[in-house]
Structures are given as C-alpha cells and as structure tokens.
Chain A
Amino acid sequence: MSHPTSPIIELKQVTKTFGATRALEGIDLRVEPAQTTVLIGPSGCGKSTLLRLVVGLIGRDAGTASFEGSDITPDNIRALRRRMGYVIQEGGLFPHLTAEQNVVLMARQLGWPERKWRNRLGELAELTRLPMDALSRYPVELSGGQRQRVSLMRALMLDPHVLLMDEPLGALDPMIRSELQMELRGIFRRLGKTVLLVTHDLDEAGYFGDIIVLLREGQIEQRGTLEELVNNPRSEFVRAFVNAQRSTLEPLREESRS
C-alpha cells in the first residue's frame, strides 16, 4: 500500500502488557489526515488502550508511536496534547467548574486574552448547538447530551489537529444518541478534522468511519471500509462480529425495503 500524504498518527509494532495480559500486540496503524478512523471490537480487544496510548495516559512497552512526525515521549507529550482533543464516554467534565469554565480552562491557562477565548467559546457553542444559558451551569445541572456537547467544545477549544474520542456517545439514550451522531458527523465534515474514534457499535462505526479498524485480543484483525468488512471478511471472526451486530437490524431493513 502506498500513501500519498504523511499520516497524522503512526504506530509501528506497538506492544503493551498489563501484568500477564497482552493488551496490545504488534499494532501497526496509520491515521490519515482529515479522515475518521474508527477502532472497533469486542470488550477487552484493546481499542481504548490504543487511544489512551496515543494521548499518553499509558506508555508502550515496545514499538514506535509518532504524532505529526514527532515521536510520542513522556517529555513532549504535554506539548503534543495541545494539538489533540480527547473526549471520553461520560465527558470527564470537571464537576466544580461551570460548562464555560470547563471549556476555556486550558486556553486561560495558556494566557489567551478574554476577547479571544470569548469569541472561540461563542463559535463552539454555535457549532455544537449548545444553548448559551447552559454555559453558566455546572455539569450536574446539564443533561447527558449537553454534557457531551460541552466535552466536545472543551476538546475543540484549542483547535486541535486530531479528535480522539473514546465511546463519546456510549452513555446516552438511543434518541439523543442518534441525534448527536448526525450532528457529530456534520461537525467532523465541516471542520475537516482528523478523528480517531472508539466504539463497540458497528452501525456507529459505519456511520462515522472512513476507515474501520477491527481489533481482537490486542491485534488488528482487519482494516478497511464498512463494505470491505461486510463483503470481504478476512477471517471467520470478522464475519461473526459483523453478523452478530447486523443480524437484529437486517431482517427489518429487508422488510421495509420490499
């Protein structure tokens, strides 16, 4: 395979063990710019571990990992993080700060003038369609969907080059989830951001992902588009994983088409 552009994130032969468990083994991964790459797989397959490794929450035991051409090391990770936006399942908002304080915390620490961060805050509220009055509320006073919008605003505040999202919609109820899915995809396209997103849901993966990476027990099982995974499963495991997730919905879709 040849790549016309240099990757934003590149992992080579990355291995990580927790005690006796191999969480990741010989991972090779390229995340291309302006694309959404989705990591998927059953629980414990290492998809979240991979994301946490990129953002530097855990180290790697072997292999190389680089971000925009620089090797990810404990020394430079803090500088690199300013170019990454990280969103987790429950949002990880700081409960003692209002939505606004959460979003602008890092910008203010970096000494942005008030006008600059206020402008950016307004832009992001508009982008994520967060009502302005929600900005002065504390996380405990926000709905689950609003919390994820605030969390996304916080991740986007410094205009990062990459969004790293660990099951960002996992804790939401289905209606809000599908509404936010649509909005998120719109935002990704509008901003042209590189996204690395973890989910366990194949529908969601297909909806967001330009490229889907299916993991199994710490190894990459198959990398490709949704169509490739469905039509050309590389192994029995891929076929079973695809079928398990699609079997409940497919018959209904067939019916509604006829």
Chain B
Amino acid sequence: MICIARYSVAVVLLSLLAGTARGQEPQVRVGSKKFTESVILGELLTQLAASTGAEAEHRSELGGTRILWSALKRGEIDLYPEYTGTLSKEILAGSDASTIDEIRAALVPEEIVVSEPLGFNNTYVLGMKEELAEERRIRAISDLARHPDLRFGFSNEFMDRKDGWPGLRRAYALPQRHVRGMDHDLAYRGLAAGSIDLVDLYSTDAEIEYYELRALEDDRAHFPRYDAVILYRNDLERRAPEVVAALSTLEQAITAVDMTEMNAKAKIEGVSEPRIAAEFLERRLRLEIDLHDVSAWERFWVNTVEHLFLVAVSLSGAIVVSIPLGIVAARFGGVGQGILGTVSIIQTIPALALLVFMIPLLGIGAAPAIAALFLYSLLPIVRNTYAGLHDISRPIVESAIALGLSPWQRLRLVELPLSARSILAGIKTSAVINVGTATLGALIGTGGYGQPILTGIRLDDVGLIMQGAVPAAGLALLCQAAFELAERRLVSKGLRIKAS
C-alpha cells in the first residue's frame, strides 16, 4: 500500500514534467504522415506559420491517412499536407469528386479547406531494378501481365487503397500471386536485397535514382493525379489569417524536381527535415528561418519523459483496476470466467489496431495510447491475482475462517499477502510489455522512444533506431529490477525463505 502511494506520487510528478515538456497550447498545429516527403512538407508549413509570429507546432510522423484525417476533423491538428488522389480515392471514396474543385466542394460540409496545388504531382509508380526490367523487357505496367512469377512487395497502405493493388490488379488484369504488404521504406531494402522484384513508389522518391530503378509507365492511366495540397480547418482563416496568407505563398512553389531533391537530401544525405525546409524557404521565399537545433541529449530526455509518462499512467491505472478484477474473478466463479475471458480477448487485438480504434474516441496523442496500453496491461495482473488467490491451500483458508476473521480481514491479512509474489510477477510482466508496446505510440503522436525508432526506420538510419530501441530495452530491464526490489519489501520473508 505504501509502495502504491509512492508510485502515484511519482506518476503525478511525471505528468507535471510531461506537461512542462509540452508547454503552452500552440496556436497552429501542423501534422504530417510517417513518410519523409510528408515530414518535409509538414516542416515547411510549420516554419512558414512560425515566420508570421504564430506559435507553430509540428506533430510529425503521425501514421497514415486515416489518423491524420481524423486528427484534423477533431481539431487536434489545424492543417497537414495531403494529395488530391488520396482525397478523391480514400477520404472521399464513394463520391465522384476527382478534380480539385469537386474535392473542394465535397469538403465544404466537413469544414475543411483545400489550398491550391503546391506545384508537384507525386503519384504512385511501380518500380523495379533497371537491370531486371531490361532483361525482361518491361517498360509499362501492362508488360507485367506476361511475367506472373515476379514477386511484388507493396506498402501496407497501397495494399489497402482502392486505387492501390486491388484496383491496379483489376485495371491491368495482373496474374502475380507473390504479393506482400510491408513498410514502404523496408520495401526498398527488400528490392535491393533481391527478395522482391517490384515495389510501389512515389514519383518524387529519392530512391528511384539511388537504387537505379525503372519507373514503369502507367499506360492505362490507372493512377489519378496526386497533386500536393494543404488541408486546413476553415476556422484557421478566422483564428490566424496571417498564417493562411503565409501558407498560400507555397502554392505552385514546389516543383517535382525540388521535391525529389529535398527527399534525396533527407534520405540519402541524412540532412534533418527542419534544415531542408529552412534552406528551401530561405532560397525560394527569402525568409529568415531561425532553427532551434535540438541536441541528442535534449531529445533523449524529452523521449524519456514522454515514454515514462505513457508507461506510468497506463500501468498504475491497470494495477488499480486489475487487482480488484482478479479478486472478483477468484471469488465468483461465473463472473470470474467472464472477466478472464474478456481481458484475454483484449490481449489478442493487435496493438496497432487497438491504437487506431482509440482515435475516434480519444483523438491522437497520449490519451488513446494510454488507454490502449492500459488495456494491454490488464491480463497479466488480473490473471496472476486470480491465480495467486486461487492457489492458496485450503487448510490456510479454513484456518483463517475458523479464527473468526471477516472476509475482508481474510483478504487483507492473509490472502493478498500470500498472493503478493504472484501479483507482483503479473505487474512485472505488464510493465515489460507496456514499455515495449509504448514505442508504437509514436505512430499516433505520443513521442517517447518509439519516435527515434520510427524516424530511424523511415530514414534507414540504424543509429537512430538504436537511440530508441536501446533505452526502451534498458527501461524494461529497469522496471524488472525495480519490481525485484519491491518484491523484497512486499513479499513476506516467510514466503521467500526455503525450508531447511
């Protein structure tokens, strides 16, 4: 009990720290998806907004279209860069909107505004190694029909989109069976390693040149135009008209060559997105950008605070709820099986899916991540509490009854102390799972150790991945050690010593 009290003090402190780390609510929040071009565009928009004096925040690398779109609609971000093809095929799927004017009209009821195109069309292309394409004499997508043995590796989003693989296969009657979904950035590596033959690319990807790829011609004009635009909430025009005006200076300002160059700087030369964006703005728009470089230690500290915040809040919540649930499960047979079944089912929901389910309810950021982590932490604690209580031998229970202890006294003085080790083992398991799973929170903008991992995967930067993975593993070990110590305090010596 004392330990739990101390624990909650720690939680409150952590939340305060996290609060100060987040600072004041900024006036303009820009979102971006978890691929490099989107991050660069998001950074351009953020710096541009900040140049008007507004307090601008970039919530970068927030997963895919669905996450960004619902965050925009809920007002958790004010704007983000999007593509017309994605708008017509994904967000407005089912409507006939395809030109920018039709899209704009269709988004009026949603209170979302579409800017003029930024100037480049980043459509999907299919790419394969120049050498293999030459050998098989493949120039256009329709040529693929003659090579059913080719192995395709598509980004997960492409696998699901209507204009992605399902539509493409129908449009070109493609016969290939070896089709796998994978992360876009990993697909390049698969291609380089020779484990797949063909990937989906964005036409402005730096890798096309870097990996010597041939972009196949879309000879049946299957892919729509993917003109980059800015999506923003219409209240921004009222709240920050100077920001909207500044953003409009980007319209028709970025050519496909510009974008491909910027992508190459990030992915091949390893320049940071803020720097790339600042250089572009200085060169093209003659803006003075004052970049605040974040040191690696500063970033590590922020990630640590964010990660601890997620873990501490979700785990304490889970402890407070799970132990009583475990007690109820051990006491009441029928209800007990129901409880154990329910928490087991929760555990089988894939982590990413659970995070995405939470977004309509709780938006993006820490709240949905904490809710998901909380749910994941339930099972080990509930099950171990149940097992601990259930395994107490009958003579002990009966002695407690015969002594005249009330049910509550029995639970408090005998049964819970005897189950302490089992319950702590459950909490330990939950903590370790929690620390690991919390890295996925970065996909919905929670920060934490998942952030460098996500960025590292995107930029193919193993060092950066390690900056997230190593501390996460360290934190898991630290949790383990902390509970080991707690065990010494909370589990009676009488249960720890062996009979001589």
CA distance A128 to B321 in the complex (A): 45
Residue contact A82 to B417, C-beta cutoff 8 Å:
no
Residue contact A105 to B498, C-beta cutoff 8 Å:
no
A81-B404, A138-B492, A138-B493 known; A92+B399 contact, CB < 8 A: yes
A90-B395, A92-B396, A97-B492 known; A141+B402 contact, CB < 8 A: no
Residue contact B500 to A141, C-beta cutoff 8 Å:
yes
Q: Is B413 an interface residue (CB 8 A)?
A: yes
CA distance A106 to B409 in the complex (A): 10
Residue contact B494 to A139, C-beta cutoff 8 Å:
yes
CB < 8 Å neighbour of B403 from A89, A96, A105, A141: A105
Q: Which residue of B lies closest to A93 (CB)?
A: B399
Residue contact B395 to A97, C-beta cutoff 8 Å:
no
Within the complex, the shortest CB–CB distance from B293 to chain A, in Å, comes to: 56
CA distance A92 to B396 in the complex (A): 5
A86 / chain B contacts, CB cutoff of 8 Å = 399, 402-403
A90-B395, A109-B413 known; A96+B402 contact, CB < 8 A: no
Residue contact A95 to B495, C-beta cutoff 8 Å:
yes
Most chain A C-beta atoms within 10 Å of own C-beta, residue among B400, B402, B413, B497: B402
Residue contact B405 to A109, C-beta cutoff 8 Å:
yes
Residue contact B494 to A98, C-beta cutoff 8 Å:
yes
Residue contact A106 to B395, C-beta cutoff 8 Å:
no
Q: Which residue of B lies closest to A108 (CB)?
A: B413
A98 / chain B contacts, CB cutoff of 8 Å = 494
Residue contact A88 to B399, C-beta cutoff 8 Å:
yes
Size of chain B's interface in residues, with CB distance under 8 A?
26
Q: Is B473 an interface residue (CB 8 A)?
A: no
Q: Which residue of B lies closest to A139 (CB)?
A: B494
A82 / chain B contacts, CB cutoff of 8 Å = 404
Q: Is B478 an interface residue (CB 8 A)?
A: no
Q: Is A176 an interface residue (CB 8 A)?
A: no
Q: Is A182 an interface residue (CB 8 A)?
A: no
Q: Is B2 an interface residue (CB 8 A)?
A: no
Within the complex, the shortest CB–CB distance from A54 to chain B, in Å, comes to: 10
CB < 8 Å neighbour of B418 from A56, A94, A105, A106: A94
Residue contact B499 to A96, C-beta cutoff 8 Å:
no
- CB proximity to A under 8 Å, residues B385-405: 395-396, 398-405
Q: Which residue of A lies closest to B402 (CB)?
A: A86
Residue contact B403 to A154, C-beta cutoff 8 Å:
yes
CA distance A86 to B395 in the complex (A): 11
Q: Which residue of A lies closest to B499 (CB)?
A: A140
Residue contact B398 to A88, C-beta cutoff 8 Å:
yes
Within the complex, the shortest CB–CB distance from A104 to chain B, in Å, comes to: 11
Residue contact A141 to B497, C-beta cutoff 8 Å:
yes
Q: Mark A73-92, 1 if CB is under 8 A from B, else 0.
A: 00000110110101011101
Within the complex, the shortest CB–CB distance from B98 to chain A, in Å, comes to: 72
Residue contact A94 to B500, C-beta cutoff 8 Å:
no
- CB proximity to A under 8 Å, residues B342-362: none
Q: Is A55 an interface residue (CB 8 A)?
A: yes
Residue contact A96 to B399, C-beta cutoff 8 Å:
no
Q: Is A175 an interface residue (CB 8 A)?
A: no
Residue contact B396 to A94, C-beta cutoff 8 Å:
yes
Residue contact A81 to B403, C-beta cutoff 8 Å:
yes
Q: Is A252 an interface residue (CB 8 A)?
A: no
B20 / chain A contacts, CB cutoff of 8 Å = none
- CB proximity to A under 8 Å, residues B190-204: none
Within the complex, the shortest CB–CB distance from B418 to chain A, in Å, comes to: 6
CA distance A141 to B493 in the complex (A): 11
Q: Is A249 an interface residue (CB 8 A)?
A: no
Residue contact B403 to A138, C-beta cutoff 8 Å:
no
Q: Mark B203-217, 1 if CB is under 8 A from A, else 0.
A: 000000000000000
Within the complex, the shortest CB–CB distance from A105 to chain B, in Å, comes to: 7
Q: Is A57 an interface residue (CB 8 A)?
A: yes
B495 / chain A contacts, CB cutoff of 8 Å = 95-96
Residue contact B395 to A92, C-beta cutoff 8 Å:
yes
B50 / chain A contacts, CB cutoff of 8 Å = none
Residue contact A140 to B404, C-beta cutoff 8 Å:
no
Residue contact B395 to A88, C-beta cutoff 8 Å:
yes
Within the complex, the shortest CB–CB distance from A156 to chain B, in Å, comes to: 12
Residue contact A92 to B398, C-beta cutoff 8 Å:
yes
Q: Is B24 an interface residue (CB 8 A)?
A: no
Q: Which residue of A lies closest to B409 (CB)?
A: A109
A106 / chain B contacts, CB cutoff of 8 Å = 403-405
Most chain A C-beta atoms within 10 Å of own C-beta, residue among B494, B495, B499: B494
Within the complex, the shortest CB–CB distance from A159 to chain B, in Å, comes to: 13
Q: Which residue of A lies closest to B399 (CB)?
A: A92
CA distance A109 to B500 in the complex (A): 32
CB < 8 Å neighbour of B413 from A55, A90, A105: A105
CA distance A78 to B405 in the complex (A): 8
CA distance A106 to B498 in the complex (A): 27
Q: Which residue of B lies closest to A164 (CB)?
A: B402
Q: Is B406 an interface residue (CB 8 A)?
A: yes
Q: Is B414 an interface residue (CB 8 A)?
A: yes
Q: Which residue of A lies closest to B495 (CB)?
A: A96
CA distance A227 to B165 in the complex (A): 97
Residue contact A138 to B404, C-beta cutoff 8 Å:
no
CA distance A93 to B495 in the complex (A): 12
CA distance A56 to B396 in the complex (A): 15
CA distance A94 to B402 in the complex (A): 13
Most chain B C-beta atoms within 10 Å of own C-beta, residue among A79, A84, A92, A98: A92
Beyond A82-B404, A96-B492, list 8 extra A-B contacts (CB 8 Å).
A52-B398, A88-B395, A93-B399, A94-B414, A95-B418, A95-B494, A96-B491, A97-B494
List, sorted by A's number, 16 A–B pairs whose CB atoms are closer than 8 Å.
A57-B402, A78-B404, A81-B401, A84-B402, A88-B395, A88-B399, A94-B400, A95-B495, A96-B418, A109-B409, A138-B494, A138-B497, A139-B494, A140-B497, A140-B498, A154-B403
Chain A to chain B: the 4 pairs with minimum beta-carbon distance, closest first: A92-B399, A138-B494, A96-B492, A86-B402
